[in-house]
Amino acid sequence: MSTAEVFSIANMTAMPMWLLMILLPNWKVTRFLIDYKLIPLALAIVYAIYIIQAMQIGGGMDFGSLASVMGLFTEERAVLAGWVHYLAFDLLVGMWMLDQNKELKIHQLLMAPCLFGTFMLGPVGFLAFMLIKTIKQNQK
């Protein structure tokens, strides 16, 4: 399977999970997938495969400078691994946010933009959630 095909499959694996989390966060199927982290685990397997391949081809990973990190992203398997890393960890953050919201009870109209923001812009959605969480906790 080509890296382009794996890229597409990884994206199409993450997308439905985000839709479930945004639109049907309390549905039993969504909760099952969140509780057992099935999609991030599948993505973690893909990540492990491609990061190991990238390391075998490109040698060690040097994160000591911006130039070194930029060099890592010249190998196709490393770029794919990096993208799958984002997909998996952003999903985990979104799942954590929904787990936090079991107690917080932030309205879904506020949660949806936070989740969408995490899906599209990672830390921006997380930041929005943390601001809302802080405001909600200070109202008690």
pLDDT at 124 over 80: yes
Instruction: Give me the residue spans of the domains in the chain.
Output: 3-138
pLDDT at 91 over 90: yes
Q: What is the pLDDT of residue 62?
A: 79
122 DSSP assignment = T
Q: Which residues of 67-98 are buried (b: 16+ CB within 10 A; e: fewer)?
A: eeeeebeebbbbbbbbbbbebbebbbbbbebb
Average pLDDT rounded to a whole number, residues 31-48: 98
For the stretch 93-102, pLDDT in tens is: 999 999 999 9
Average pLDDT rounded to a whole number, residues 88-92: 98
Is residue 54 very low, low, confident or very high in pLDDT (cuts 50, 70, 90)? confident
